Structure 1
């Protein structure tokens, strides 16, 4: 039996986005091996409701302000080795002391730490006699460079922190074989990360696929409804939403006046909310308790991502729900998918809109794509499939 403590930023349940979905997947898988505890470092007040099966659940809410000494250290991050503003933002001494107490009381055999932003807590975890897994949802240095280039000192610092975390952890998990190769390219072929795919509880989407899930009230016919899901404080999702609102949706609406665009997820931007006020066909939901009714209301998932890391859980949710998908190459990156077999992959705006029109007019194509995509998500991206990859990784580690 293995006692596992997850250390996450924000609580992983209920899962409200891709970060939480990956954490919740891994938590459920590790429950098969023994007791699981979760210590979450939250930036806003979090519910203390304990999900079934969790032996220890502690969402710690960070204080809104820090001491003058800690504030000075944050301002002087360039003078400190392996310091970074986004890493400092999630560290407080009171949280570190609480984590130290939790580690002493829970006595984990294994600690799984989510992403590099919790790096400053690593020295506390290292004091315990437990193995450490560093779970990289994205290769952050690569993602930062996609968005900002080599911006002043932040990119070298991110690389330094990421490399140090990989070195000090006993094992590193990434989302795909592409990310394994990327780690080796950036940091050296001596590192051997484990590819633990993002996966979903496929059976929980059966109600959508079998048309037993009702769309939200007032959504009516779904024939020409597009959907895009995400946390819109995440810059790549902001860019994708902007493309949908300004480029893709207007083109489709010209030939399909009843077309609607559903932008579903927390932290919508001001421009998204303004667009929804001006155009009744654009629906911006904010955070929703259950994504499945919105998937039931959609006829096509469109993923026009230009940047990103890891793999896209939104595509896996579409596959499990029987919703056909159109994605850019970047949006489908890291998934074992083939254009024309599981989805349509298009990179130019005009080609994306043509692909959507194609799906709206060719039922046989939709049936072919959704059938193959469903078989793929069951075989490679279900929790059962991911469990086998986790088991292999743990055998190497333990």
Structure 2
């Protein structure tokens, strides 16, 4: 069995949040075809228990370096002095660098997959490898959006990170054999920002495990029979776009819904709720659960799933998971970017508070079985993981492009200057 190196900035298990869902399914897919050597970071103590399982899955070496967020944050501040992106400095680690160097010297590794731009630094110059970089989203553009939505001094720091990170993304894409983005829309954004590597940029969608997210399974009812009047939002609740989304919905939409349906409830389901999210529990009709062992019961018994994101990049797993559970979904246009779904057959779209109120009341009062079944069929048809990951298989096997390693962006070189 051939050997492959997989680098990920966060331990790719358990698949309980956006990046870990994608990295886990990539890892599992690679392990069916290769002996995988995994280099990654453990950033929460509870994830240490999963390292032995990953060793068994990979079949190769596993370097799972403990990352202490406070020290990593201090280390990242060095980027302010030398011009590097803070996220790259955050994940710079001598242990991982030494492990990668030794592995490539001692093992017959010819291919590598790198998950996130912050891990590309460990394979800079390794031109002997067939290297595929999975950026997932254009993170530099995400930081630019954050800067527009925040005030000084955060806005200034985010603008700096956006500019420095774009240089790093372009440099890595110039060195690597191919670069992946999570949707064709994200790929087009990156091609415009990095035209010198446009021919080597591909889209690889997220999928959803439809066997795991199966509405035919009998789940306990967390709503105690009142789920038909419940709206649910799922996601990591310390992630700012999610925080912004639920705060906006609770303030701008929920009061309008309660005027029509006083018994309606808005459940916010996700780990590590930020202070602003916890405070929403004081609002009439809002329930903040915090982390739960399994989100599927909350999806299975909800009347409707909402995704009112105002800041979003790539593909929203929360939308795919709710659709897979045959739940009707009401989403903002931003939350649907990159998804191949029909509106309103597969999902409903709402762009303002009045549209959200109208769609929520309509689905909660009319019964939404047909809408949920259409959503499930769309996911089964278009978002099976094995089908999505065929893009990666082709990129790992195809011959090197003629310009591999030559379209390298130097620090300070402006976008489009080639």
* Corresponding residue SS for 2:87: helix
Q: Could you tell me how far 1:352 is from its partner in structure 2? A: 0.8
Give the Cα separation in 1 of the matches to 2:204 and 2:88.
Answer: 24
- Pair 1:159–1:279, CA change in 2 (3 A): same
The whole-number CA distance in structure 2 between the counterparts of 1:64 and 1:302 is 32
- What is residue 212 of structure 1 aligned with on the other side? 218
User: Partner residue of 1:22?
Assistant: 22
C-alpha distance 66-190 of structure 1, shift in aligned 2 (>3 A) = closer
Inter-partner Cα distance in structure 2 for 1:387 and 1:6: 15
Q: Given the alignment, which residue of 314, 318, 339 partners 1:314?
A: 318
> In structure 1, the residue corresponding to 2:335 is in which secondary structure?
coil
Change (3 A) 1:360 1:74: closer
The reply to whether residue 301 of structure 1 matches residue 305 of structure 2 is yes
- Structure 2 runs not aligned, ≥5 long: 149-154, 401-418
What is the CA–CA distance in structure 2 between the aligned matches of 1:385 and 1:369, rounded to whole Å?
A: 24
Query: How many angstroms does 1:65 deviate by?
Result: 6.6
- Structure 2 length as normaliser, TM-score? 0.84
State the alpha-carbon separation in 2 of the partners of residues 110 and 361 from structure 1. Answer: 54
1:60 aligns with 2:68: no
Task: State how many pairs are aligned.
Answer: 386
CA–CA distance in structure 1, aligned partners of residues 366 and 187 of structure 2:
38
| Structure 1, 106-115 or 328-337: larger mean CA deviation | 106-115
2:136 matched residue in structure 1:
137
Greater CA deviation, 128-137 or 279-288? Answer: 279-288
SS of 1:314's partner is helix
Query: 5+ unaligned residues in a row in structure 1: which ranges?
Result: none
1:166 aligns with 2:166: no
State whether residues 5 and 112 of structure 1, in contact with CA within 8 Å, keep that contact through their aligned partners in structure 2.
yes
Q: Report how far residue 143 of structure 1 moved.
A: 1.4
Cα distance between partner residues in 2 of 1:4 and 1:215: 43
Q: Secondary structure at the match of 2:228?
A: coil
Equivalence for 2:113: 112
1:354/1:110 CA distance change after superposition, 3 Å: same
TM-score, normalised on structure 1? 0.88
User: Could you say which residue in structure 2 is the equivalent of 1:197?
Assistant: 205
Distance 2:360 2:225 in 1: 20
Compared with structure 1, are the counterparts of its residues 75 and 245 closer, same or farther at alpha carbon in structure 2 (3 Å cutoff)? same
Measured after TM superposition, the shift of residue 317 of structure 1 is: 0.5
How much is the aligned-residue C-alpha RMSD, in angstroms?
2.5
Q: Distance in 1 between matches of 2:217 and 2:369?
A: 14
Once the 2 structures are TM-superposed, how far is the Cα of residue 77 of structure 1 from its aligned partner? 2.8
